[in-house]
Structure 1
Amino acid sequence: MTEHKPEKKVCVFCGSSFGVDPNFSKSASELGVLLSNNNYGLVYGGGTTGLMGCVAKAVASNGSYVHGIIPEALVSKERKNLDEIKKMNEELKESVENHRGATPLDDSYGKTTIVPDMHTRKRMMAQEADGFVAMPGGFGTLEEVMEITTWSQLGIHAKPIVLFNIDHFYDEFIGFLGNCVAKGFISPENGTIISVATTPEEVISKLQSYKVPEGRFNLSWKNQ
């Protein structure tokens, strides 16, 4: 299938595990199809297991752009052709490690870029993407969505951020953020930086209708 050039690219943060609810992976695949159908490309963390794999394969198999960005430290030690892969920036065909074991990468998940560290990975994803979506995940997913939200608050970017609250997964987290606003640690304006969606269709709608909140910092980040 020929890859078509997207109008915009969305960075999706999510788990490399499937979770215990089958609707997590179902919703991830549905979101991937909708992203492609709405001419969005995908930027993500480069894994092919769990929700990462579901959304990436759905976008790629539907003919749209997928770019996985993975730190070198996560590449499996079994990598005979790593130097050549780096030099040619070809798709990674070996395996990468996650908390559950090996995460193989192949052409069906788009192109892959190997970077030296996690900071480079997150910076590249943020720079390439025109918006961000967080699906269910663990520590890494929470860290990524919180960092990109903080960057918005500080004025580093003004891109949409959508929390995909599949089957109430993020209810407690949303409540925590509301409590931060109520207790005076987040302003009411900055409390709206993150939009919340409960269906794949609503994710697309929130990306397209996002309005940058008032009251954010307007700082200079020339060195970012």
Structure 2
Amino acid sequence: MPVEALLRDVLTNTTALYAWAVVVLASLGALRYDIRANNDDIPTLMQFVWTLTVAYSGPLGLAVYAWAGRKQIERDSLWRRSARSVAHCYSGCGAGEVLGVVAAAGILALPQIGVVAVTFTAAYTFGVALTVGPMTQDGVAFGEAFRDAIVTETPSIAVMEAAAIGTDVYLAEGATITEPLFWSALAFSLTVGLLVAYPVNVALVHRGVKDGMANPRDRATAA
């Protein structure tokens, strides 16, 4: 059976979708419990980032948090800093992508090129905003924060959204907002974007284009 047909079978299987929903809810519960019990002093922004990451990708997002997002990690590394960096990007872009797809395909019923344009614009806007906002709160001038966000986030966002939107359009083409495939393909595409963008973030952090997110132990201490 072709991979495309197999994926669509899984993404339209009611039992599989209910099971996935349960797994995601359990993953969110585990995340919230660990944050409350052991990591409540992690900055609020990163708690928000991890909540969205787990909401989008379930146990994979929870595994990334356990490996790179807790202040109890034994030692930090390029790989962990990049994981936090891509999760930060993922949380904002994912929110923009969901809103963009729902608006463009589900509500406005735009043609495919319109769906792609609106969804990418929304994802890019949210991704950049999630970087600009905290910087301006820290006292950085808006213009400087905006320029820095464009330079540091554009490669990651572009690759993430090319993979995610492309996957969603490929799998859910023709599905309407009332069909399970519309939502399941969207959720699956988000995780594809996360996985594809991770090595890009490793390269950007390694080359100093992005700083990478700070060690959660240091951020918790400073909060």
Q: Which bracket does the TM-score occupy, shorter chain normalised? A: under 0.3
User: Which is richer in helix?
Assistant: 2
Q: Give the number of the structure whose residues are more often strand, by fraction.
A: 1
Q: Which one scores higher on RCO, CA 8 angstroms, separation ≥ 6?
A: 2
* TM-score between both structures, scaled by the size of structure 2: 0.26
Give the TM-score, by structure 1 length. 0.26
